[in-house]
């Protein structure tokens, strides 16, 4: 693809950037704090797509870009590359996660029970327009339960395995230090299982939903049912060089496992997880994972198709590049059109003579 160098535009480019930042105004610590506290789910989405868990930095990226998600994710990923990698955390176990919400649409009674947790699934979508008239909107307080739900819950997948309903052949005992890392290795096809899940974890939420929805509507080979959906906090345990282990803090994690009736006597499974709380993305990503194996070439659920086309930074970057000068290629096309038109008109003129 050919481009042409632009000259004399340095000042215009600089002023264009200044104009964008001027519209946003001064970015203060108070503004960043306000973004972090008032839009937690948006902050979660940016952290997930940037594959970096830092609420303050994610809120800063949103404030600095005016809430333009693709720019905020790009900014956060770029900053991420400047940070040192200190250690690899201990793998997480399902029954060690601190559960805030845990439901199953496939089974009414699951070990540990259903935990509805924070959700708008059953709420009326009513806009609090009184706020625009100067009134405050204060949500009703939560009534505490007589008995608190257990912080840790068993895995529904393990429960299904004990009944012989799922195959454990995909269990992976790879050592933490040997797990493939998509941020350090290229994505090749057929993709490694770790690369597929990592790519889905940081994929664009809207893109994952669009392709996952197409599979749900019948354009995939398997229809999903949510076996387990979790909103949790995970304890990040790392090992100190002296040999002792300690907690480096907690991170919010969403995860979903969907199932579908296989041809045999077992259920097929799809899984997805991501930083922050983002249920729709996880269910959609798990649906794509469920449909990936054996998918038709060039279909929306083919692994190569959905992993490439849900990479938000690359796709938005490619779209943005069309705003750059394409004078050479476009003028070449126009010249070819004019030449073809001239050649077509020449015989007609000769015949008229």
pLDDT tens-digit profile of 167-179?
A: 765 566 677 667 8
- CA angle 61/66/71 to nearest 5° reads 55
Confidence at residue 279, expressed as pLDDT on a 0 to 100 scale: 92
59 with 33: CB under 8 angstroms? yes
pLDDT surpasses 90 at 49:
yes
Cα 131 from chain centroid? Answer: 32
pLDDT of residue 353: 60
Q: How many Å apart are CA 275 and CA 73, to the nearest integer?
A: 13
Overall average pLDDT of the 109-130 stretch: 89
Would you state the pLDDT for residue 179? 80
- Count the Cβ atoms, other than its own, within 10 Å of residue 238: 14
pLDDT band, residue 165 (cuts 50/70/90): confident
Confidence at residue 272, expressed as pLDDT on a 0 to 100 scale = 94
What is the structure's pLDDT at 41? 93
pLDDT above 70: residue 55: yes
Is residue 282 pLDDT above 70, yes or no?
Answer: yes
Residue 352 scores a pLDDT above 80: no
As a whole number, mean pLDDT of residues 288-315 equals: 88
Confidence of residue 3 (pLDDT cuts 50, 70, 90): very low
pLDDT at 39: 93
Distance CA 311, CA 27 (A): 29
Q: How far apart are the first and last CA of the chain?
A: 43
pLDDT tens sequence across 195-223: 899 999 999 999 999 999 999 988 888 88
Q: How confident is the model at residue 1 (pLDDT cuts 50, 70, 90)?
A: very low
Q: Which residue has the tokens 């729709």?
A: 280
What one-character DSSP code corresponds to residue 118? S
- 198, 182 in Cβ contact below 8 A? yes
Is pLDDT above 70 for 71? yes
Reply yes or no on whether the pLDDT at 24 is more than 80. yes
Return the residue matching tokens 């339960």: 145
Mean pLDDT of the chain: 86
What's the confidence (pLDDT) of residue 294? 82
Report the distance separating Cα 231 and Cα 250, nearest Å. 13
Shortest CA distance to 79 belongs to which of 264, 298, 307, 313? 313
What pLDDT, in 10s, does the model give residues 335-344? 888 888 888 7
Residue 72 has pLDDT above 70, yes or no: yes
The beta strand positions in the chain, using DSSP E, are 98-103, 225-239, 245-261, 267-275
pLDDT for 234-243, tens place per residue?
A: 999 888 888 8
Q: Are the beta carbons of 253 and 47 closer than 8 angstroms? A: no
CA quadruple 96, 97, 100, 104: dihedral positive or negative? Answer: negative
**How far is it, in rounded angstroms, from Cα 319 to Cα 322?**
6
Q: Which residues contact 112 (CB under 8 A, 6 or more apart)?
A: 102, 150, 153, 154
Mean pLDDT comparison of 80-89, 188-197, 214-223, 269-278, highest-scoring range? 269-278
**Alpha-carbon gap, residue 47 to 76, rounded angstroms:** 8
Neighbours of 64 (CB within 10 A): 17
SS3 category, 115: strand
């Amino acid at each position: 693809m050919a481009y042409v160098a632009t000259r004399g535009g340095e000042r215009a480019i600089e002023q264009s950037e200044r104009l964008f930042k001027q519209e946003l105004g001064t970015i203060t610590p108070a503004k960043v704090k306000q973004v972090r506290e008032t839009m937690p789910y948006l902050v979660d989405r940016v952290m997930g797509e940037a594959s970096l868990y830092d609420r303050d930095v994610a809120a800063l990226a949103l404030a600095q870009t005016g809430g333009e998600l693709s720019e905020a994710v790009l900014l956060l990923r770029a900053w991420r590359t400047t940070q040192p990698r200190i250690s690899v955390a201990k793998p997480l176990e399902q029954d060690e996660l601190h559960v805030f919400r845990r439901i199953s649409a496939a089974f009414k009674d699951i070990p540990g029970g259903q935990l509805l947790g924070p959700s708008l699934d059953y709420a009326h979508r009513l806009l609090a327009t009184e706020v625009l008239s100067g009134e405050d909107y204060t949500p009703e307080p939560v009534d505490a339960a007589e008995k608190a739900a257990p912080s840790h819950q068993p895995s529904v997948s393990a429960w299904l395995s004990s009944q012989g309903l799922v195959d454990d052949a995909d269990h992976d005992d790879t050592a933490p230090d040997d797990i493939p890392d998509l941020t350090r290795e290229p994505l090749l096809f057929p993709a490694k299982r770790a690369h597929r899940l990592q790519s889905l974890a940081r994929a664009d939420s809207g893109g994952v939903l669009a392709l996952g929805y197409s599979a749900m509507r019948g354009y995939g080979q398997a229809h999903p049912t949510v076996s387990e959906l979790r909103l949790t906090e995970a304890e990040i345990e790392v090992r100190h060089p002296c040999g002792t282990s300690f907690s480096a803090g907690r991170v919010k994690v969403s995860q979903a496992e969907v199932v579908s009736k296989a041809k045999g006597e077992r259920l097929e499974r799809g899984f997805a997880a991501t930083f922050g709380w983002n249920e729709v993305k996880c269910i959609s990503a798990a649906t794509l994972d469920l449909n990936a194996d054996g998918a038709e070439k060039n279909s929306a659920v083919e692994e190569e198709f959905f992993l490439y086309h849900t990479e938000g930074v690359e796709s938005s970057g490619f779209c943005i590049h069309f705003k750059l000068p394409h004078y050479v290629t476009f003028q070449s096309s126009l010249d070819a059109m004019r030449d073809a038109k001239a050649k077509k008109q020449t015989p007609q003129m000769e015949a008229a003579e």
